[in-house]
Amino acid sequence: MPAATTSPTLSAISLSIRTALFGLPLGLAMYAPHAAAEQPAGHASSATTLDRIEVLGERGAYQVPRTGTAMKTDTALLDTPQSVTVVTDKLIRDQAMQSMADVVRYVPGVQMAQGEGHRDAPILRGNTSTADFFVNGVRDDVQYYRDLYNIERVEVLKGPSGMIFGRGGSGGLINRVTKQANWTDQAEIAATIGSWDQRRVVGDFNRALSDTAAFRVTGMYEDSESYRDEVELKRWAINPTLSFRANDATTFAFGYEHFEDDRVTDRGVPSLLPVRGAPLRTDASTFFGNADLSPTWARVDALTATIAHDFGNGARIVNQTRYADYDKFYQNVFPGAYTAGNGRVAISAYNNLTTRKNLLNQTDLTFKLETGAVKHELLIGAEFARQTTDNFRETGYFPAVGANATAAFVTLPNTIYTGPVAFRQSASDADNHSVAKSAAIYIQDQIEFSPQWQAVLGVRFDRFDADLRNNRNGTSLSSSDDLVSPRAGLIYKPRENISIYASHSLAYVPRAGEQLASLTPSNRNLDPEKFTNDEIGVKWDLASGIAASLAVYQLDRTNVAIVDPNNPAQSLLVDGQRVRGVELEASGRITEAWQIMGGYAYQDSEVQTPGAQDGNRLGQVPKSSFSLWNRYDFNPNWGVGLGVIHQSEVYVATDNAVKLPSFTRVDAAAFYNVNDKLRMQLNVENLFDEDYYASAHSNNNLLPGSPRAVRLGLSYRF
């Protein structure tokens, strides 16, 4: 990389352009079939001082006015024709959030599935995904549990966002914005102890090394048990970042993260099927299977480099490169069907190892211009990505039952399986190597016709190629897709603080699958699944400091592949599902002392695939859900928090055979600032000890919610 000059003349601008654009040939090399590099997929936004551009708002509040993620430009949420929820660092701290499941609990229209006890699995507007996660706008699509130790805020975009983020994002996506080195000297260490021997420490150290350099490091260590018998968690991470100012217009940012997560894979409890479509009633702590033989671990190493140059007059270029190396393993000995006649529960087992290397390079150029009385803010971007994945799976066999037995049993109340399990590959277990390459170009125009009327028009073209080699038999498969993802929005502002919008957007999921392991001879030539979202909404920034929004949408999933009933050797593409919904949200300050975050969602979901399930409701999509968190400060030292979450009953799966009952959960907190450096916090989850089921994966993998849990936190700033 050339050394940066301090001259403010054309030589500096020329250097910045060359430096930022060096990634274009790198990206082309990544995409080339003979390239040796390896990719991610997703998009990048700004870092270091760039995160100031991502969201500008009062630090510590529950509401922010702007985001740079949904449009990839610094845009007011009021002028964004899409439903977006921003979970701020203050809300994360006040609720003592530690997981993505904690984050989405107060986001209307989003639920969290169980994920087989080893991964985050959000359900966004009825669409379950394990891949639609991003870090600073860059794809983070391996299946694991993410932490919040280094997070500035979490942004939840609802509805397909293919124009900005490319493939995936079928019902929406979740973007984490990380803490970056900046020129604010601050440091904090926080410790938490809680029910079931929770022990957690988080540190954040940020210093200006000089007028042109800054360093920051965040870290975390946790060693905790669980309300679930024999379940435990150990994880640690460190994330140093460096920021440099070459001059007033050019910045460089570099970061590295190492993250380790070790836990027990917990698949919950079975149901009473076929006698009754309800959960098997057990204590919330009861574990089925064998915890000692159910380990999960994830290892993540990620490097990022961001170069940004501001030309002035609204013109800016950003180039970001991210390399991430993931190792993920999980093994589970877990429950299946329950037989009421003899009180037996079937036990099965398997394991899976995934290694993935991602390399992504992205360049975004934004600038403003005027054509007569019409103002434009243009985004022109290119993205190149390469992703290699190795996937290896084994089936668990039970010698005590038979040499080739793939199932055993436990008998109530003895739910722990103590016999031997041998893991080896079955005829259908995966052992493959895949390479996915993508190259994309996109353009977007934010048009201001007048103070009252605005429009957003954009289109993205992705070339997505996937190659898969089956190591078991040596066969290879390939597929290619050309994805055109448009976006259109119209905004009318009858007043400066009110906007009424209508939008249309598309996203695609290629047949390679969101985890790149589902390419088969029968599906490789099929068109990708298509997700279409039509939405109208109102956003209103009240003078008191509350931001409120109302969105009404219809999201259709089409090009779903099913077996042709007249020719089982072929597949048919049919409509898959439809979700019609309403989302109401409010966040911010009611008074100087009272802050809120909450919302309501109504979701009318329907399976549209021909067959027995046609017309059924989608799994784990409640018709109605409500959440409201309040914080009230009596004085600068004392404050309290109170939250309520309600969810109507849900079916576990699209067969609508098992139903989880509705529930209402209350959370509470108390805050005490000893002085301007020392802070104490007490959080109580499930204050009234409600019995409920938090999530599920299948009809016989139902996870009971936590009983009343207490967390005591202490933080010190220096």
Least confident of 20-29, 230-239, 269-278: 20-29
Tell me the mean pLDDT in the region 259-267: 98
Confidence of residue 573 (pLDDT cuts 50, 70, 90): confident
pLDDT value of position 513: 60
Residues 6+ apart with CB under 8 A from 443: 378, 379, 380, 381, 458, 459
- Fold classified for 10-717: Maltoporin; Chain A (2.40.170)
In the predicted structure, residue 568 carries a pLDDT above the cut 90: no
Q: Which tops the pLDDT comparison, 51 or 65?
A: 65
Boundaries of every domain in the chain: 10-717
Query: Cα separations (Å) of 350 from 289, 330, 431, 624, 704?
Result: 12, 9, 14, 36, 23
Q: Residue 518's pLDDT band (boundaries 50, 70, 90)?
A: low
Distances (CA, A) of 620 to 101, 315, 644, 658, 702: 14, 45, 20, 10, 11
pTM above 0.95, yes or no: no
Give me the mean pLDDT over the 392-419 stretch: 96
Residue 15 has pLDDT above 70, yes or no: no
H or E element in which residue 11 lies = helix 10-21
Contact between residue 365 and residue 429 where contact means Cβ atoms under 8 Å apart: no
CB burial readout 671-697, b (16+ within 10 A) else e? bebeeeeebebbbbbbbeeeebbbbbb
Mean pLDDT of 369-376: 96
Q: Which of 38-42, 194-198, 297-301, 371-375 has the lowest mean pLDDT?
A: 38-42
What's the pLDDT score for residue 562?
Answer: 77
Tell me the pLDDT tens digit for each residue of 445-471: 999 999 999 999 999 999 999 999 999
Return phi, psi of residue 27, to 5°: -65, -40
The pair of structure tokens assigned to 102 is 């904690």
Higher per-residue pLDDT: 29 or 103: 103
The CA distance from 322 to 303, in Å, is 6
Q: How confident is the model at residue 517 (pLDDT cuts 50, 70, 90)?
A: low
User: For 333-360, what is each residue's pLDDT tens digit?
Assistant: 999 999 999 999 999 999 999 999 999 9
Nearest to 181 by CA among 211, 159, 160, 205: 205
Query: In 10 A of CB 637, how many CB atoms?
Result: 12
The CA-atom distances, in angstroms, between 170 and each of 256, 528, 623, 668 are: 29, 12, 20, 34
pLDDT for 258: 98
Distance CA 635, CA 579 (A): 45
First-to-final CA distance of the chain:
36
User: What pLDDT does residue 515 have?
Assistant: 63
Q: Report yes or no: 71 and 444 within 8 Å, Cβ to Cβ.
A: yes
Residue 511 has pLDDT above 90, yes or no: no
Kindly report, residue by residue over 112-143, the tens digit of the pLDDT.
999 999 999 999 999 999 999 999 999 999 99
- Residue 198 · residue 180 · CB < 8 Å: no
Q: What is the pLDDT of residue 611?
A: 87
Residue 281 CB contacts under 8 Å (≥ 6 apart), including other chains: none
Q: Mark 96-115 as b/e (b = at least 16 C-beta within 10 Å).
A: bbbebbbbbbbbbbbbbbbb
Compute the mean pLDDT over every residue in the chain, rounded to the nearest whole number: 90
What confidence tens digit (pLDDT) does each residue in 26-43 have?
Answer: 444 454 444 433 333 333
Question: What is the per-residue pLDDT across 620-672, written as a single tens digit (0 to 9) for each?
Answer: 999 999 999 999 999 999 999 999 999 999 999 999 999 999 999 999 999 99
pLDDT of 54 reads 38
CB count in 10 Å sphere of residue 60? 12
pLDDT over 70 at 535, yes or no: yes
- Spatial distance between the Cα atoms of 706 and 300, rounded to a whole number of angstroms: 28
| Helices within 444-526 (DSSP H only) | none
How far apart are the C-alpha atoms of 289 and 608, rounded to whole Å? 36
State residue 545's pLDDT score.
87
Query: 699 CB contacts (<8 Å, ≥6 apart)?
Result: 271, 273, 652, 653, 655, 657, 658
Greatest CA separation for the chain: 84
Q: Which residue has the tokens 């990389």?
A: 1
Q: What is the pLDDT of residue 316?
A: 97
Contact in structure between 502 and 536 (CB atoms under 8 Å) = yes
- pLDDT for position 51: 38
Mean pLDDT, residues 86-91: 96
Decide if pLDDT at 24 tops 50: no
Mean pLDDT of 672-700: 97
Map 113-129 to HEC letters: CCHHHCCCCEEECCEEC
